[in-house]
Chain A
Amino acid sequence: MLVEALALSAVLFTIGVIGVLTRRNAIIIFMCVELMLNAVNLSFVALSTLHGATGQVFVVFTMTVAAAEAAVGLAIIIAIFRHTQTVNLQNINILKG
């Protein structure tokens, strides 16, 4: 099932990427990134059947990182929402050029 898991991982990762490309809501984009991370986790877990438990250890860290990112990221989104009253990225572009 290794190849299938890796393929699934790739597909999910791609869906996450497509999500990032198509959506404009900051939170949804962030969730798409989470999907990508999940896809990678699947790869780690799948590969750990090959190489031992290191991959799973990595997944633990990835989840921690995801949590930390979620904390900071959502705080940032709240901060921008305070300024712009929106999280639609289309409306958040005073920095350009």
Chain B
Amino acid sequence: MQVNQFHSLFYAFTFYFFGLVAIASAIAFVTRKSPVAAAVWLVLVMFSLAALYVMLDAQFIGAIQVLVYTGAIMVVFLFVIMLLNLGNPSELADARGKWGYLAALLIGLVMLAEVMALTRSNTIDRMIPPDLAAKAAAAAAAPLAGGVIGPIAAPLFNEYLLAFELTSVLLLAAIVGAVVLSKRRTNAR
């Protein structure tokens, strides 16, 4: 238990560390003028989140977070930013003024307060419906059978097979759409 205790302390420290990094980078991301800088800060948020995923026993998700999000999506973003050469000053001064920020902060805090209702302690206990408590407890307690990927793969290809297939159609549609939109205007006269 000693080890566990230490483990949990370390765990907590790491958790909070990455959490704070995520928040700080997110704030930096939102406030940076340059799109490139913003994108890089966002990448940092995503890395932090990947770490947190791992800490939450979602190692696979952590991995694809790095691969897909950081490695693919954000790269595309950066690519487009640079393609469009958005570094020039007219594009940089894109944020609202001080009051805009304050108002946004205020309204954001109001929303946060509302959303935070979900963490109210007296209800976290009954987060799991009574009849599910056993199942949930079992799920939480049981070591992940099939390693890291198995628990995800099983529902993905059984219960959510259809959804999985649908993503293929979705991606296809997105590709077609992207092509149609960005194709050179052959009909231009």
Q: Indicate which residue in A17, A27, A30, A45 contacts B86 across the interface (CB closer than 8 Å).
A: A27
Tell me which of A15, A27, A74 contacts B35 (CB under 8 A).
A27
Known contacts A31-B42, A59-B58: does B155 contact A18 (CB below 8 Å)? no
Partner of A61, one of B15, B105, B163: B163
How many residue pairs between the two chains, A and B, have CB atoms under 8 Å in the bound complex?
Answer: 229
Interface of B is mostly: helix
How far does the alpha carbon of A88 sit from the alpha carbon of B96 in the complex, in Å?
12
Q: Are B11 and A53 in contact (CB under 8 A)?
A: no
Chain B, interface size category, equals 35 or more
B10 sits at the interface (CB 8 A):
no
B120 to chain A, nearest CB (A): 10
Nearest-neighbour CB distance to chain B for A51, whole angstroms, equals 6
Contact with A along B59-71 (1 / 0, CB 8 A): 0110011001100
Instruction: Indicate with 1 or 0, residue by residue over A42-60, a CB within 8 angstroms of chain B CB atoms.
Output: 1001101111111011011
Give the residues in chain A near B12, CB-CB below 8 Å. Answer: 1
Q: Is there an interface contact between B30 and A22, defined as CB atoms closer than 8 Å?
A: yes
Select which of B64, B80, B107 is within 8 A of A74 by beta carbon.
B80
CB distance from A37 to the nearest CB of B (A): 9
What string of 1s and 0s marks CB contacts (under 8 Å) between B137-159 and chain A?
Answer: 00110000000000110111001
The answer on a CB contact under 8 Å between B178 and A71 is: yes
Top-4 shortest CB links A-B: A68-B174, A75-B178, A19-B30, A21-B104
